[in-house]
């Protein structure tokens, strides 16, 4: 497989991640949870992710309590490498930031933050507070309904035969019967419509038979 095919295979293995870690006011998906969700597949396929810092910025400012808050901003490059063909790479620019009070952990926090969100976005991994089953149900409900199946060739023949029978009983044309059934395009009739038309024809034929008895 080429590098794009391998990345696609990784994406197929992680349909959803539940937010399990808790912060002060919210739940979130932890870095270790994200990395462990893809690491085994990356190893299996022979994909390496190399991180490079291309630029950095440190901003320090006192908060409302007078405590110094340090923000580290990093401009990153994430490079995917196909181990089987090391010359086959994909370089993706990224940005990350880390907030730290002491000042010495800003770079580490920014790298952790950047790597986690890069993985989530690279593989389009959805996260949600719901359990996986509830999430999957939401996904299914959000999908547009499938169009109803059109009738089979055999059903098509049955409808035409019954319509022709009624047409002969009434001395009408087949097209006149279809018009009475409000059929504009017989080739696009679905199964539900087919059943309705067949029932209506049965009612009409029964009435003609009773009238001629």
Per-residue pLDDT tens for 145-181? 667 777 787 888 888 899 888 888 888 888 888 888 8
SS3 36: helix
SS3 183: coil
Do the domain assignments include residue 101?
Answer: yes
> How many domains is the chain partitioned into structurally?
2
The pTM (predicted TM-score) of the whole model is: 0.57
When pLDDT is averaged across residues 24-33 and rounded to a whole number, the result is 60
> In the prediction, which pLDDT does 75 show?
97
Same domain (yes/no): 160, 127: no
User: Phi and psi (nearest 5°) for 23?
Assistant: -105, -165
Domain enclosing residue 192, as ranges: 153-208
41-92 pLDDT per residue, tens = 999 999 999 999 999 999 998 888 888 899 999 999 999 999 999 999 999 9
What are the DSSP E strand ranges found in 31-120? Answer: 47-62, 68-82, 89-100
Q: What is the CATH number of the domain that holds 76?
A: 3.30.390
> In the prediction, which pLDDT does 67 show?
85
Same domain (yes/no): 116, 63: yes
DSSP string of 130-151? S-HHHHHHHHHHHSPPPPPPBP
């Amino acid at each position: 497989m080429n590098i794009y095919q391998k990345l696609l295979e990784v994406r197929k293995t992680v349909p959803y991640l539940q937010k399990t870690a808790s912060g002060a006011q919210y739940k979130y998906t932890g870095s270790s949870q994200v990395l462990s969700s893809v690491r085994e597949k990356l190893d299996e396929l022979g994909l390496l992710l190399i991180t490079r810092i291309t630029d950095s910025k440190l901003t320090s400012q006192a908060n409302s309590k007078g405590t110094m808050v340090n923000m580290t901003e990093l401009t990153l490059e994430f490079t995917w490498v196909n181990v089987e063909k090391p010359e086959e790479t994909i370089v993706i620019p990224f940005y990350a930031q880390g907030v730290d009070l002491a000042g010495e952990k800003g770079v580490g926090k920014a790298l952790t933050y950047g790597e986690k969100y890069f993985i989530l976005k690279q593989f389009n991994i959805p996260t949600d507070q719901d359990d996986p089953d509830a999430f999957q149900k939401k996904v299914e409900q959000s999908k547009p309904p499938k169009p109803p199946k059109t009738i089979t060739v055999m059903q098509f023949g049955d409808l035409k035969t019954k319509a022709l029978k009624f047409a002969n009983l009434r001395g009408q044309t087949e097209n006149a019967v279809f018009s009475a059934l409000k059929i504009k395009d017989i080739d696009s009739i679905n199964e539900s419509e087919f059943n309705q038309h067949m029932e209506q024809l049965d009612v009409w034929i029964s009435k003609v038979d009773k009238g001629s008895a």
